[in-house]
Amino acid sequence: MNIEVSRRRFLQLAGAGAAGTAIGALGFGEAEAQVSALVKPFRLVQTKEARTTCPYCAVSCGMLAYAAPSKTNKGKLEVVHIEGDADHPVNRGTLCPKGAAAIDYIHSATRVKTPMYRKPGTAKFEPVTWDFAMERIAKLMKDDRDANFVEKNAAGTTVNRWTTTAFLSGSSVTNETGWVTYKVARGLGLLQIENQARI
């Protein structure tokens, strides 16, 4: 029994490449065939590792996500295990009860799989295509904007604002997503933009 206790210093830019590499090349068949008599085989063998960040609180712990071909979502890689990144200076490999269970968030029973639409007055959601959903939302927004956009206020100042639609922005999205959100929401002239910072 030899536990290597030295801290590993990790190289910069050490994350895994993008997902979706040829799955066959990873040799999962072999891993599944391996059967050990007593001690179970280590289940991360030949999975694909990527360094990600916990989606929950603002400690923003470093996580390692291990992916393998999905059994239910054919042709796609899905996460099969998550643990803390021991190289991360803040969390040092640890995770809290939420981070340690984050795989169940990915595979949550209430995960939305496909665009869903609820018609006025009905009692259920129905699946729709992306195209239908996006076209309909764009139309609803344009109608509202056309009806309520204010180019100049009473004093004649150019104000270019649209105050009848609100955008609540998530605080667990990436900075880049945040910037796109900002650009889109402000670009439309929205003033009712908020995130979780205040609450």
Partner 1 sequence: MSSLGPTFGRGAMTNSWTDIRNTDLVLIMGGNAAEAHPCGFKWVTEAKAERGAKLMVVDPRFTRSAAVADHYAPIRPGSDVAFLSGVVNYLLSNDKIHKEYVRHYTNSAYLVKEGYAFDEGFFSGYDESKATYDRSSWEYEIGADGYAVRDMTLEHPRSVFQLMKKHFAPYTPEMVARVSGTPQDKFLKVCDWIASTANGERAMTIMYALGWTQHSHGAQNIRTAAMIQLLCGNIGIPGGGVNALRGHSNVQGITDVGTLTAAIPGYLALPTESEPTLESHLGKRTFKPLQANQTSYWQNYRKFYVSFLKSYFGAKATPENNFGYDWLPKLDVAYDCLRMFDLINQGKTTGLICQGFNPLMAIASSNKSAAGLAKLKFLVSIDPIETDTARFWENHGEFNDVDPAKIQTEVFMLPVTSFAEEAGSLTNSSRCISWKWQAADPYHDSRTDVVILADLFNRIRKLYETQGGKGAEPLMAVDWSYKDPAEPSADELLKELNGKALVDLKDASGKVTRQAGSQLASFGEMRDDGSTDGAMWIYTGVYGPAGNLSQRRDNADPSGLGVYGNWGFSWPANRRIQYNRASADPEGKPWSERKKFMFWNGERWTGPDVPDYVPTIPPSQATGPFIMNPEGVSRLWVRGLMADGPFPVHYEPFESPVTNPVYPKLKGNPAARVFERDRASFGNAKEFPIVATTYRLVEHFHYWTKGVHMNAVVQPEFFVEMSEQLAAEKGIKHGGWVRVWSKRGSVKGKAVVTKRLKPLTIDGKTVHTVGLPLNFGFIGVARKANPINGLTPPVGDANSQTPEYKAFLVNVEPIVGPVA
Partner 2 sequence: MFPAIPNPTTEKSAAKFGEKDMIRRSASTITPPAKRQTEVAKLIDVSKCIGCKACQTACLEWNQLTEEVGVNVGVYDNPHDLTANSWTLMRYTEYENPESGNLEWLIRKDGCMHCEDPGCLKACPSPGAIVQYSNGIVDFVKENCIGCGYCVKGCPFNIPRISKADHKAYKCTLCSDRVAVGQGPACQKACPTQAIVFGTKDEMKAWAAKRIADLKSRGFDKAGLYDPPGVQGTHVMYVLHHADKPQLYAGLANNPRISPLVEAWKGVGKYAGLALIGLTAAAGVIHHILQGPNRVSKEDEENAEKLAGGKS
DSSP state of 24: G
Residue linked to tokens 């391996």: 34
DSSP state of 185: H
Nearest alpha-carbon partner for 99 in 55, 42, 159, 162: 55
Contact partner at residue 6 from partner 1, partner 2, none, CB < 5 to 8 Å by partner kind: partner 2
In the complex with partner 1, which residue's Cβ is closer, 34 or 160?
A: 160
Give me the residues that bind partner 2 (CB under 8 A), please: 1-8, 31, 36-49, 64, 66, 81-87, 91-101, 103-104
Contact partner at residue 71 from partner 1, partner 2, none, CB < 5 to 8 Å by partner kind: none
Q: Is 188 in the site for partner 1 (CB under 8 A)?
A: yes
> What residues contact 50, with CB distance under 8 A and at least 6 apart?
15, 16, 19, 64, 65, 67
Q: Is 101 in the site for partner 1 (CB under 8 A)?
A: yes
Q: Is 52 in the site for partner 1 (CB under 8 A)?
A: yes
Instruction: Mark the segment that binds partner 1 (CB under 8 A) among 27-35, 38-46, 178-186.
Output: 178-186
Contact indicator for 74, 23 with CB cutoff of 8 Å: no
Q: Is 191 in the site for partner 1 (CB under 8 A)?
A: yes
Amino acid residing at 185: A
In the complex with partner 1, which residue's Cβ is closer, 34 or 116?
A: 116
